[in-house]
């Protein structure tokens, strides 16, 4: 089975890190649940590419947070 590589823009990675920092300040357990959910979503995207991805087969989809 072909696996895709999930890559994040610098901006998207920054958003995720800020989200995690915010959740850590508010509720450590919520931060852990969010980390698990995001990790599982990334794992799923590595196997089942997002239907909206613009990349061709064999290339990673790019995700960007504005």
- Give the model's pLDDT for residue 60: 47
What pLDDT is attached to residue 50?
65
Taken in order 58, 9, 64, 26, the sign of the CA dihedral is: positive
Question: Measuring CA to CA, how many Å separate 19 from each of 1, 2, 10, 25, 65?
Answer: 32, 31, 14, 10, 12
Q: What is the pLDDT of residue 51?
A: 61
- Give the predicted TM-score (pTM) of the model: 0.66
Q: What is the pLDDT along the chain (66 residues), one digit of tens a residue?
A: 788 888 889 999 999 999 999 999 999 999 999 999 999 999 988 888 766 555 554 444 444 443
Q: What are the boundaries of each domain within the chain?
A: 7-63
C-alpha to C-alpha distance for 62 and 21, rounded to whole angstroms = 23
Token readout for 25 is 């300040």
Give pLDDT, residue 65: 42
Which among 4, 7, 12 is positioned nearest to 56, based on CA atoms?
Answer: 4
């Amino acid at each position: 089975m072909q696996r895709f590589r999930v890559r994040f823009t610098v901006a998207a990675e920054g958003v995720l890190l800020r989200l995690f920092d915010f959740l850590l300040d508010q509720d450590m357990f919520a931060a852990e649940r969010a980390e698990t959910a995001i990790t599982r979503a990334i794992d799923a995207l590595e196997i089942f590419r997002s239907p909206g991805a613009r990349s061709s087969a064999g290339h990673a989809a790019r995700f960007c947070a504005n």
